[in-house]
A and B are shown apart, each in its own frame.
Chain A
């Protein structure tokens, strides 16, 4: 399963680099990428080089990293909230991150602007999740339904804030704000890759080490305490990990919805509920999904590019519904 997904990811990434406004043959792609990695000698056409190495390669890599990050954040939040509806969007983390970024970019709000876009998005995402947790907890216990309700409410609030800012900026900056609302991979550069990659590698490893605890948590808080999982501390750690993942992806790709909700469920339908399998399958599945969606966005209406959010929904929803209908083992 993992090998198959890995192979699909590799193929999708190669296609992702070769197609677009201008289609380039795979041999050309290899010539440029190989040369930059020091594997192939010779020179390449400078324009091809720029298209492939400066624009498309980081974009495809970023699509993979963001897809993986959002999916793992979804797994994390669904376990933490013990609710299959939880994802970075539903819990308000994505909207919060977007608002933080928009405030920094469009209005130049002092402290936020100093943090830079990524920093502002990260700070706002962590703050949002913390606020949601504080609002949802009662006498030290975190209710699952309350968490989702608080998340949805805070999410609406943050989205309203972002829309409000829209009215006060000049039309030139409006495009930038649409980016934060709908998500986009169009302006990816090599510099964007570092933070989300580090986040997914570190969080992924951390979570995989605690996959058994995630399984135990799904059998209820009391049972988890009985099996030696310190429930409250573990939840708090999951909050930190999921805000790290969400914030670092939203900061570079805006608010891409649906991936974090759908991919974990799709993974469970296919490999069952054990997190030792769900986590790696979600990482690869999320990466494949977003790379493919990004390709579709670029080729569907050439030379125009469609917002990535259009295709995550248009392509993802039917796929997900088919899985849902013939679901094997997903949620209880």
Chain B
């Protein structure tokens, strides 16, 4: 199932957060969304999971407009999401939390059946959290909670997966595992990632956002260049092949002249470490 975003504009408090953003993710493609903080990555994803209605523009899942053609429930059967928001008010167990992923598939008074339980337990197994099924969510570490939320997204069994900085809070092994897992699912995936090296290594396609606009979009070999990374992120970059994995590899460093501003007018931090 494909994802299409066409001319999306979002204005919050008279500030354009997204300004005519268009991109397309083909079926089964792992598409990375990169850009500095505040470039609009999360906002774009929120439009896709129906938390935010764009002022103009169209967001389509599998050819149907998320707002015009799909109800909240039917949209939820097409795409699952691991959001950045981790506030959980109530002390659910991990299994109870993961089972909430079945919500868009269940009728009002329908109970969770054995099949739902099996789907939830499979998802927990996949993210390596089966041992924690009966733990209370509020007692988990940030990384464990993140994995539980990924299991919940898998339990939704939707053909499209949206990830908003899914490797936040995870240790290095868990980060690499999570990305490999997400890639191995062969779902249509749109992932906002902040680690350029990880994005470059796993994605089939990539879109670069800066100040609410698409700066470049396409195959990572064409999009990711030292010049673009320097212009958008304000860091020097070297692209190469990772000696251990043989995949694309991005190494970054602060510019030597810290008073320099990139051609897009982005300020470079003054302090060095």
A binds B: yes
Chain A residues near B (Cβ < 8 Å): 82, 84, 139, 208-210, 212-213, 215-216, 218-223, 225-231, 268, 272-274, 329-332
Q: How far is the CA of A190 from the CA of B44 in the complex (A)?
A: 57
Interface size, B (range): 35 or more
Q: Which residues of B contact A218 (CB under 8 A)?
A: 88-90, 92
**Which of A210, A230, A332 lies in contact with B91, CB distance below 8 A?**
A332
16 further interface pairs, Cβ-Cβ under 8 Å (given A222-B51, A228-B104, A329-B91): A209-B108, A212-B100, A216-B100, A219-B97, A221-B51, A223-B81, A223-B85, A227-B76, A227-B100, A227-B104, A228-B71, A272-B96, A273-B91, A273-B92, A273-B96, A330-B91
Q: How far is the CA of A139 from the CA of B10 in the complex (A)?
A: 14
From known contacts A332-B88, A332-B89, infer whether A213 and B51 are also in contact, taking CB-CB under 8 Å. no
Q: Which residues of A contact B75 (CB under 8 A)?
A: 228
* Majority secondary structure, B binding face: mixed
**Which of A212, A272, A332 lies in contact with B106, CB distance below 8 A?**
A212
Q: Which residues of A contact B97 (CB under 8 A)?
A: 219
- Inter-chain CB contacts under 8 Å: number: 109
Q: How far is the CA of A272 from the CA of B85 in the complex (A)?
A: 23
Q: Judging by beta carbons under 8 Å apart, are B83 and A222 in contact?
A: yes
Q: How far is the CA of A89 from the CA of B64 in the complex (A)?
A: 45
**Which of B88, B156, B162 lies in contact with A227, CB distance below 8 A?**
B156
Q: How far is the CA of A219 from the CA of B51 in the complex (A)?
A: 14
CB distance from A118 to the nearest CB of B (A): 30
Q: Which residues of A contact B103 (CB under 8 A)?
A: 212-213, 215-216, 227-229
Q: Which residues of B contact A213 (CB under 8 A)?
A: 103
CB distance from B81 to the nearest CB of A (A): 4
B247 at the interface (CB under 8 A from A): no
**Chain B stretch 68-96: residues in CB contact (< 8 A) with chain A:** 71-77, 79-81, 83-93, 96
* Majority secondary structure, A binding face: loop
Interface flags for B88-130 (1: CB within 8 Å of A; 0: not) read: 1111110011001101101011000000000000000000000
B46 at the interface (CB under 8 A from A): yes
Q: How far is the CA of A229 from the CA of B156 in the complex (A)?
A: 14
**Which of A226, A228, A331 lies in contact with B90, CB distance below 8 A?**
A331
Q: Which residues of B contact A219 (CB under 8 A)?
A: 87-89, 92, 97, 100
CB distance from A275 to the nearest CB of B (A): 9
Q: Judging by beta carbons under 8 Å apart, are A220 and B76 in contact?
A: no
Q: Which residues of B contact A82 (CB under 8 A)?
A: 89
Q: Which residues of A contact B149 (CB under 8 A)?
A: 223
Q: Which residues of B contact A330 (CB under 8 A)?
A: 90-91
- Among A139, A210, A215, A230, max chain B CB count under 10 A is at A215
Q: How far is the CA of A40 from the CA of B156 in the complex (A)?
A: 57
Q: Which residues of A contact B81 (CB under 8 A)?
A: 222-223, 226
CB distance from B192 to the nearest CB of A (A): 13
Q: Judging by beta carbons under 8 Å apart, are A272 and B109 in contact?
A: no
Q: How far is the CA of A215 from the CA of B103 in the complex (A)?
A: 10
Interface flags for B135-165 (1: CB within 8 Å of A; 0: not) read: 0111000000000010000001000001000
Q: Judging by beta carbons under 8 Å apart, are B72 and A230 in contact?
A: yes
From known contacts A209-B108, A218-B90, infer whether A227 and B50 are also in contact, taking CB-CB under 8 Å. no
CB distance from A79 to the nearest CB of B (A): 8
**Which of A215, A227, A268, A332 lies in contact with B138, CB distance below 8 A?**
A332
Q: Which residues of B contact A329 (CB under 8 A)?
A: 90-91, 93, 136
B13 at the interface (CB under 8 A from A): yes
B49 at the interface (CB under 8 A from A): yes
Q: Judging by beta carbons under 8 Å apart, are B83 and A84 in contact?
A: no
CB distance from A147 to the nearest CB of B (A): 14
Pairs A–B under 8 Å by Cβ, sample size 18: A215-B100, A219-B97, A222-B83, A222-B85, A223-B83, A225-B46, A225-B72, A226-B49, A226-B80, A228-B72, A228-B103, A229-B103, A231-B51, A273-B91, A274-B92, A329-B136, A331-B89, A332-B137
